[in-house]
């Protein structure tokens, strides 16, 4: 009897703790804000990202046309995520770094943390020589199925 009770308790604790790998699934309003830095203008983009089987994907713009951003990565059971942001730079006044030209490809990592309803992330700026601070905010759309 004690073993059955212990097993049931552990099983219910597992379910309540949100360890279901799909509990992040759905549509997420995503906002990316990159700070002005070193004579480069700042900007904010908003778009919808989707999570399916705890894998996030979001896009701003049209693939292969500047400016373009894609973010991708896995969200762990605890909500931790290492995302990859990649894309094509837009106008030179918004492009930070030594190669300020429209149409250049770029990529960087984003360290993020999600709950069932929201998430926050920060761009990895390395030594700060090339990267500038970019902030990611995610808000889960309530009751909305993930777009296909």
**CATH for 58:** 2.40.160.90
Q: To the nearest whole number, what is the mean pLDDT of the chain?
A: 84
Q: Is pLDDT of 4 > 60? A: no
The count of structural domains within the chain is 1
Residue 16 forms part of a structural domain: no
Q: Would you state the pLDDT for residue 96?
A: 80
Residue 64 forms part of a structural domain: yes
Q: Which range is least confidently modeled, 15-24, 44-53, 113-122? A: 15-24
Q: Is pLDDT of 51 > 50? A: yes
- pLDDT tens-place string over residues 52-105: 999 999 999 999 999 999 999 999 999 999 999 999 999 989 988 766 789 999
Its domain, for residue 131, covers 23-140
Residue 91 forms part of a structural domain: yes
> Tokens in use for 128?
């700060």
Cβ atoms 120, 106 nearer than 8 A:
no
């Amino acid at each position: 009897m004690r073993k059955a009770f212990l097993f049931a308790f552990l099983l219910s604790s597992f379910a309540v703790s949100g360890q279901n790998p799909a509990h992040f699934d759905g549509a997420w309003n995503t906002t990316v804000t990159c700070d002005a830095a070193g004579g480069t203008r700042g900007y904010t983009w908003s778009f919808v990202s989707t999570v399916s089987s705890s894998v996030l994907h979001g896009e701003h713009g049209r693939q292969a046309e500047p400016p373009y951003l894609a973010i991708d990565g896995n969200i762990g059971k605890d909500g931790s995520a290492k995302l990859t942001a990649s894309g094509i730079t837009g106008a030179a006044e918004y492009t930070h770094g030594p190669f300020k030209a429209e149409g250049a490809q770029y990529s960087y990592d984003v360290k993020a943390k999600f709950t069932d309803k929201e998430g926050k992330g920060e761009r990895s700026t390395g030594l700060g020589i090339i990267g500038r601070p970019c902030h990611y905010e995610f808000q889960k759309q309530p009751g909305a199925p993930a777009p296909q």
